[in-house]
Chain A
Amino acid sequence: MVASCAEKTYIATTIGDVVAAARISRTTFYREFDDKRACFDAALEHCIEEVRGAATGACSADEPPAQAVREATAAVLDLLAARPELVHLLVGEAIAVDPAVVERYRDLVVPAVSGLWGSDEEGETHLDPWLAFGRAQLLIFDRVTAGDAGGLSELLPEVVYLAVGPFAGHDAAIEEARACPGPVAGAAAR
């Protein structure tokens, strides 16, 4: 399902495509899923889990929050670079099938990142974390739709900036972005 949606989009995907790619019978398909949409929803859950696994596996709760964010972001970008079909499914296809899906996983990510910084500090309004998530998503989708999933790691400074800025402020976020390894100068020149 994931492969077919990434290749030809959800709408063009038939159950025939899915069973052929999975080398299972139609009977088996219908034993597992009521219909194409149910299969898509399950595939989506699977993608979300995969991304979550990469993020949580790359950092630990004892680290300083900025370091945890940097490591988790790098791991997620690596995963997406290796498997750009996840990006197609989680962004373009999710929007086509049901825009509410995007909100659902955003609601998992933002509190998780926010939690790294502990309870909210008083006063200061920094960047909006919910919007920062959408911005990061579009930067990633832009790379993948350009056919440059391999270059996703170049987005590390920007995604880290967006993940740190809402909680620690612009200045700290720029510092963290600057501290990211990778071809920062090349990315900035584009």
Chain B
Amino acid sequence: MSWAGRRRGGAVSEPRARLPRGRHGLSRETVTSSQRTRLEAAVVAVTAAKGYEAATVGDVLEEAGVGRETFYELFADKRDCMLAAHAQLVDELEARVRVAYLGTAPWPQRVREAVAVALEFFAERPPVARFMLIELFAVGTPARQRFQEDFNRFVALLDEGLDEGRVNGGPVRPTRLAVGAVAARAYEEVVVGRAAELPRLVPELTYELLVPFVGEAAARETAAG
């Protein structure tokens, strides 16, 4: 089921099921926000299915059940819509990881939980995973800046939740290696069409993340859960 399909009936939007016409008492903001959400969901579904280059604005409109005029009121073009959807998804992922990681459990456990929610995020909507990790690079040079910003955003989040006294230093910077590990492994699995199976990798990926911080023996203990 596509992401757009899954969101149907959700709190934010009812893709395809258009809002009532005429005097419906809904504010202009509510209508616009609903249309925006539907279009962003649609660009994800269409891009993941057809590839960014092949996807057209027409495909997105059809998937979203929104008119062309509305699309161009909200977005400059396909790329703009794609980048907006991408930013939205990164926010969503960051919010989920933040909740899991900045909890009260001991730090190594929090790392494990952060890995778990990130992998679940990709696994529950494989088209989203494909959209975020692969199709982004098809949009051209803005993708490079996005990659850069997002990568460092997650590094900063990991830094933020480090225990006091847990030195993130030495000759390597483990939080950068950690973000790289999750991104690289998720990417590999998405390429081969196994996004849905990502959660099975929580133990080994937790191990990979923790080794640069605590060494192999301690990492093995936490990874086993």
Total A-B contacts with CB atoms under 8 angstroms apart: 113
B137: interface (CB < 8 Å):
yes
Chain B 139-167, CB-CB to A under 8 Å as 1, else 0, gives 01101110110011000000000000000
A61: interface (CB < 8 Å):
no
Chain A binding surface SS class:
helix
Bound Cα distance A166, B176 (Å): 17
Contact residues of A between 83 and 137, Cβ < 8 Å to B:
88, 92-93, 95-96, 99-100, 102-103, 124-128, 130-131, 133-137
Q: Are B191 and A99 in contact (CB under 8 A)?
A: yes
A138: interface (CB < 8 Å):
yes
B215: interface (CB < 8 Å):
yes
Q: Are B171 and A184 in contact (CB under 8 A)?
A: yes
Interface range, A side: 35 or more
In the complex formed, the residue of B with least CB distance to A126 is B216
Q: Are A142 and B148 in contact (CB under 8 A)?
A: yes
Cβ–Cβ < 8 Å partners of B5 in chain A: none
Contact stretch, chosen from B7-15, B115-123, B179-187: B179-187
Cβ–Cβ < 8 Å partners of A180 in chain B: 171
B211: interface (CB < 8 Å):
yes
B55: interface (CB < 8 Å):
no
Q: Are A138 and B191 in contact (CB under 8 A)?
A: no
Bound Cα distance A169, B220 (Å): 13
Bound Cα distance A88, B143 (Å): 11
Cβ–Cβ < 8 Å partners of B179 in chain A: 138
Chain A nearest CB, measured from B223 CB (Å): 10
Binding site for A on B (CB under 8 A): 53, 134, 137-138, 140-141, 143-145, 147-148, 151-152, 169-173, 176-177, 179-181, 183-185, 187-188, 191, 204, 208, 211-212, 215-216
